[in-house]
Chain A
Amino acid sequence: MAEKEALFEEIKQALLKEDEEPCKNLVKKALDMKIPASDILLKALQPALVATGERYEKNEFFLTDLMIIGDITKTIMDILLPHLKAEKAGVAGKVVIGTVEGDIHDIGKSIVISVLKGAGFEVYDIGVDQPAKNFVQKAMEVNADIIGASAILGGTKFKVKEIHEELKRAGIRDKVGLMCGGWGFTEELAREFGADYHGEDAWDALKKAEELMKVLKERRKK
C-alpha cells in the first residue's frame, strides 16, 4: 500500500518537474505492478494537475510550464487509455472540443484537453478554425455530452452562438452542454452567446464540465 502511494507521489513529482521520460517510466512501472489505470489517473495525475493549477495561480508556474505539463499528460493518457478501457473505468463524460472558425489558437485548448483527460473525460479534439457544424457533427457522431469551444481572437467569440444555434437546429441543444473559453470571455458574454458555462482557465473548465455533467444527468432523468 505504502509502495503504491509512494509511486503515485513519484509520478506526481515527475510531472511537476516536467520530466517526461521518468514520468512515463513510472506510469509503466505502476501498470506493471497491476495498479489499475484509474487509480493512477485519480491518485497521481489528477493531484499533479491540480497542483499545476495552484502553482500557476501563485505565479510559481508560467505559461510554458502549463504547455509542457499538458504535453506530458497527453502522452501519459495515451498510455493509460487502453487500460482504462479494459478496466471499463467509468468515463466522466464525453467532450468535443475545438477552436472556433476564424481563430487558430490552440495552446489554451491543449491545456484544457490535458486537464479534462486527466480527470477521466473522453475528449475529441476537432482542431482549430472549425465551423459550428463540425462541432455539432462530431458531437452527434460520438454521442458527446459537452461541446467545448475555444475563441480568443477579437470578434470570433460570437461563433459560440453559431454552435448554440446549430445544436438547436439539430434538435440536441438540451442534450448537449455548451462551454466556451478563451482570453477576454466573461460569464456574461458566454451566456449571451448561448453557452451554459464559461471556463476561466483549464481548472475552472474542469469544474464547470463536472457541474455541467450533473445538470445534464438531471435533465436526462426528466
Chain B
Amino acid sequence: MEIPSSVNWGSLEGAGKWFNVPFHQIDIRFSDEEELEIERYCQKIKENIEKDKMTPMERWKATIEGQEVDRLLVEAIPATPYATRVLDGFGNVIKPIDAFRYPKLFLKSQLAFCARFGTDYPNVYSLTYGESEWGGKAKLLEMAHPVLVEPGVKTMEDVERLKVPNPYRDGQYPLMLWAMHTMKEIFKKHGLAGVVPVVASCCVRGTTMLQLSIRGLKQGYLDPIKNPDIYHKLMPLSNELAINYAKALRDVGVDIVWCCCHHATHPPEVFKEHIVKYDAEFAKKSGIDGWGYAFNQEKHVSIMHEAGGYDTVKYLMFDTLTPPEFARKFTKEINKPYIAIIEDKKLMEGPSKIEEYVKQLVKIGTSTPGVGFGLSAGTIDYWTPPECIDAYVKYAKQYGKLK
C-alpha cells in the first residue's frame, strides 16, 4: 500500500484495508452473486419508476428549469448508518462501521435504500464526520459516522505545517469516489445512466470541515469569534480540499453534487464578517448544484446571496427549521428551486404526522408556479421505523401529483 506523502499524518482507529489507498489503485471486484444482487437492485429501481410519465432525470431537469413536472421530485438522504439497515432487512446485524470499512457495502446499501423505498434516485450523503487527514486522531464508530477524537491543529505553528489532502489519494475520500464512480458504471450497465441521476453530497466542506476534522467541533465553531487569525489561515486550506473533492465527485460520474451548510450556527454579523466569503467562494469554484441547509437560515441567506453564494448553484434545500414559507419566498425572489427537507425528528413522528407535513409543504412549495419545488427527507435517524419512510414516499408521491 502506498502511503501518501503529503498528508499531515494522523490516525483513523478501526480503518479498513482500503483506507488511504489511492483511487486508481482500488481494485474491488464483485462476485457473481453480488453482480446478481446489484442487477436486482437496478431492476427494482426500474420498476419503481416505470409507471411515471417522466424519468427521475427528466423530473430533476424540469424542476430546476421551473417547468411542469408529472409529480414532485421525491428524494431522501438516508446517510450511511440508515442505508446499512436496509441491507439486512432491518435486522440491525450489519453495522454502519461495516459500510465505512467496506466500500461494496457502502455502495450496495445506497442502491438497496433507493430500490426498497422507491425514491427518485440514490442521494449519497457524506462519508465522514471526522478524518485524520489534517493530522488528528479520528475513529470509526460502530453505529455512526467516523468522528474526530483529537484534533491535530492546536496552534498557528500547526497551521503553518499543514498540507492540503488530495481526495483522489488520501483517507476515506478515494473510497467515496470509488463508490460513486462504480454506481455510475452500474447505472450504465443496467440502462439507468441518464435516466436516474447519481446524486451525492460533498459535505463535509469548508467551515464545517474545520469544525469536524481540523479543529474539533467546539473549537471549530468558536474559531471565527475567538481565534479569527487561525480561522482565516485555515479556511483557504479547508476550502481547497472541499473544492477539489466536489470536482472529483463530478469527474468520477456524479450527476448532481450538493453540499450541506450550517451558516446559522453563528450570529449573522459573524457570518457576514468572517464566514460568508469562504462559502461563496466554495460555491463558485466547486461547481456544486445545490446547498442543503439545516438550522433556521432566515437571517443568513440574504447575506449569502449578497456575497454571490447562490450565483452558480441551481437549487436550495432547507429543512423545516427554516420556516417553509420563508424558504419559498426567498427562493422565489432569487429564482431558484426549493427542495423542502422533512428532517429526521419529524420523520419519527409517524405516518399520520408525516402526511400532514407533506401536505403542508406541497401547498407552500407549489405556490409559486415557474419556480421549481421538490421534497426530500433526512438525514434519516438510525432508529426511524421503515414505515415512516414508506409513508413519506407514499404521501410525497400522492400529494405531489400535479398533473
User: Which residues does A use to contact B, with CB under 8 Å?
Assistant: 59, 61-65, 67-68, 102-107, 110, 153-158, 183-184, 186, 188-189
User: Which residues does B use to contact A, with CB under 8 Å?
Assistant: 79, 81-82, 92, 95-96, 129, 139, 141-145, 147-149, 217-218, 221-222, 225, 264-267, 270, 295-296, 298-299, 344-345, 348-349, 381-383
Can you list 23 contacts pairing A with B, beta carbon distance less than 8 Å?
A59-B299, A62-B264, A62-B266, A65-B267, A67-B218, A102-B142, A102-B143, A104-B147, A104-B149, A106-B218, A107-B217, A154-B79, A154-B82, A154-B144, A154-B145, A155-B81, A156-B144, A157-B381, A184-B383, A186-B345, A186-B349, A188-B348, A189-B383
CB distance from A20 to the nearest CB of B (A): 11
Contact A103 B144 (CB under 8 A): yes
Task: Note all chain A residues with C-beta closer than 8 A to B95.
Answer: 155
Contact A184 B217 (CB under 8 A): no
Contact A107 B141 (CB under 8 A): no
Contact A62 B383 (CB under 8 A): no
CA distance A107 to B381 in the complex (A): 19
CA distance A106 to B381 in the complex (A): 19
Choose from A68, A107, A188 the contact partner of B225 (Cβ within 8 Å): A68
Contact B221 A64 (CB under 8 A): yes
CA distance A62 to B209 in the complex (A): 19
Task: Note all chain A residues with C-beta closer than 8 A to B298.
Answer: 59
Q: A154-B143, A157-B383 are in contact. List 12 more A-B contacts (CB 8 A).
A: A62-B264, A63-B265, A64-B225, A65-B267, A102-B142, A103-B147, A153-B147, A155-B96, A155-B142, A183-B344, A184-B381, A186-B349
CA distance A122 to B299 in the complex (A): 37
CA distance A64 to B217 in the complex (A): 11
Contact A64 B265 (CB under 8 A): yes
Task: Note all chain B residues with C-beta closer than 8 A to A106.
Answer: 217-218
Contact A155 B267 (CB under 8 A): no
Q: Which residue of A lies closest to B143 (CB)?
A: A155
Choose from A61, A65, A67, A154 the contact partner of B96 (Cβ within 8 Å): A154
Task: Note all chain B residues with C-beta closer than 8 A to A184.
Answer: 344-345, 348, 381, 383
CA distance A184 to B296 in the complex (A): 16
CB distance from A206 to the nearest CB of B (A): 20
CA distance A61 to B139 in the complex (A): 32
Contact A67 B79 (CB under 8 A): no
Contacts known (A62-B266, A63-B265, A154-B382); A107 close to B221, Cβ less than 8 A: yes
Task: Note all chain B residues with C-beta closer than 8 A to A65.
Answer: 267
Contact B266 A63 (CB under 8 A): yes
CA distance A92 to B289 in the complex (A): 52
CA distance A131 to B145 in the complex (A): 18
CA distance A156 to B147 in the complex (A): 13
CA distance A106 to B235 in the complex (A): 24
Task: Note all chain A residues with C-beta closer than 8 A to B79.
Answer: 154
CB distance from A222 to the nearest CB of B (A): 34
